[in-house]
């Protein structure tokens, strides 16, 4: 977490409508929010997963209520606020690059 940004949250965003035009509008708007650290298009119940940081809970609330919920096409969102960072790494698991290729086993 960056200095002074005490809140990290994960917002599951659901769009009103689906399609390239709607997705493009949302993605362009979310790209302009510096508090959104990551934005993923995802499978499952939500359309997008955002990792958001804010200075504190009031700043986070204002961000969500006045900006994120008003992004183009947003129908609703569910947010989880991180209570504690258990693990964070930027090291990729690349061990497979140095090991011999294994044959795939059939799934039964």
Confidence of residue 8 (pLDDT cuts 50, 70, 90): very high
SS3 category, 98: helix
* pLDDT tens string 44-69: 999 999 999 999 999 999 999 999 99
Burial of 72 (C-beta count, 10 Å sphere; 0-12/13-18/19+): middle
pLDDT at 26: 96
Instruction: Kindly provide the residue ranges of all beta strands, DSSP E only, lying in the chain, ordered along the sequence.
Output: 7-15, 36-41, 48-54, 74-81
Give me the half-sphere count of Cα atoms (radius 13 Å) on the Cβ side of residue 18.
6
Confidence of residue 105 (pLDDT cuts 50, 70, 90): low
Domains with residue ranges and CATH for the chain:
7-81 (3.30.70.920)
pLDDT exceeds 50 at position 1: no
Q: What percent of the chain has pLDDT over 70?
A: 90
């Amino acid at each position: 977490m960056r200095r002074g940004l005490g809140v990290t949250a994960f917002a599951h965003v659901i769009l009103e409508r689906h399609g390239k035009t709607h997705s493009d509008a949302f993605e362009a708007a979310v790209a302009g929010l510096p508090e959104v650290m990551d934005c993923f298009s995802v499978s499952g119940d939500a359309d997008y997963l955002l990792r958001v940081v804010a200075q504190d809970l009031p700043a986070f609330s204002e961000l969500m209520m006045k900006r994120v919920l008003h992004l183009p096409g947003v129908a609703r969102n569910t947010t989880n606020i991180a209570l504690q960072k258990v693990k964070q790494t930027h090291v990729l698991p690349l061990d497979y690059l140095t090991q011999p290729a294994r044959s795939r086993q059939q799934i039964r």
